[in-house]
């Protein structure tokens, strides 16, 4: 296996993590070593003190970022970034301004007609915890399946501090990177392709989250 993405050393073909052979050259594959996903070349970088936050007309641009109000309890606001990708690193930097706010990223958001499905990684600074889950939603409802439910991490800063949430994914390998440090690796092959995105949410009451920036990179 090549260290660059998940590609075959023999023919360069794309690999499925854990597959017993390369689908293109049929060469047997051996797995077992840890796959470390790192940032490669940049796809984009948005500074939300200058760049419009996609998908949210209510965000207020300020000198230090875009303020996203989530007016209802247990609610979310989100937006997506082009391009659609299989493998990438997506990071969002922001500040939860109160104890109700959380924020994070979407990966591999794709559609079946009007329905959408994606991976969502969020941090909840009030509890310094994070969560990774699969989601599928339509206008009236969201259905979820947790991969890792709210879990404490000392890497997360509390309310009022800047946190960077990053999800790196290559095929079915997902790495949760919090403030630049690897917090967890999860293997899940459920969804394989789609848009990137940002998300801000609220818990028992309305919240305000300041999103400062978002960036996406190739994996290597």
Site string for other proteins, 197-216 (x = CB under 8 A): --------------------
Contact 200, 122 (CB under 8 A): no
Rounded to 5 degrees, what are φ and ψ at 60?
A: -105, 120
Q: How big is the CA angle at 115 (ends 114 and 117), to the nearest 5 degrees?
A: 140
Does the footprint of other proteins cover residue 3 (CB under 8 A)? no
Half-sphere exposure of residue 49: CA atoms within 13 angstroms, side-chain side: 7
Q: Which stretch binds other proteins (CB under 8 A): 53-61, 121-129, 189-197, 203-211?
A: 189-197
Does the footprint of other proteins cover residue 30 (CB under 8 A)? no
Distance of alpha carbon 76 from alpha carbon 70, whole angstroms: 7
Does the footprint of other proteins cover residue 58 (CB under 8 A)? no
Contact 186, 148 (CB under 8 A): yes
Does the footprint of other proteins cover residue 39 (CB under 8 A)? no
Residues that bind other proteins (CB under 8 A): 5, 7, 11-16, 19-21, 23-24, 26, 28, 83-87, 108, 110-115, 117, 134-136, 138-141, 143-145, 172, 188-194
């Amino acid at each position: 296996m090549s260290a660059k993405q998940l590609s075959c050393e023999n023919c360069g073909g794309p690999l499925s993590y854990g597959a017993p052979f390369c689908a293109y050259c049929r060469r047997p594959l051996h797995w077992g070593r840890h796959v470390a996903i790192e940032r490669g070349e940049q796809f984009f970088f948005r500074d939300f003190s200058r760049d419009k936050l996609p998908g949210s007309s209510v965000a207020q641009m300020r000198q230090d970022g875009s303020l996203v109000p989530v007016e209802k309890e247990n609610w979310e606001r989100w937006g997506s970034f082009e391009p659609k990708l299989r493998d990438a690193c997506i990071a969002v930097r922001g500040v939860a301004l109160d104890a109700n706010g959380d924020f994070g990223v979407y990966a591999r958001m794709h559609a079946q007609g009007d329905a959408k499905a994606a991976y969502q990684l969020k941090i909840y600074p009030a509890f310094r915890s994070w969560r990774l889950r699969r989601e599928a939603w339509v206008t009236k409802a969201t259905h979820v399946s947790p991969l890792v439910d709210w879990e404490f991490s000392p890497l997360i800063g509390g309310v009022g501090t800047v946190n960077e949430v990053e999800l790196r994914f290559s095929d079915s390998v997902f790495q949760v990177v919090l403030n630049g440090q690897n917090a967890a690796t999860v293997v899940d092959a459920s969804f394989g392709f789609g848009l990137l995105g940002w998300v801000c949410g609220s818990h028992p009451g309305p919240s305000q989250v300041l999103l400062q920036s978002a960036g996406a990179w190739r994996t290597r």
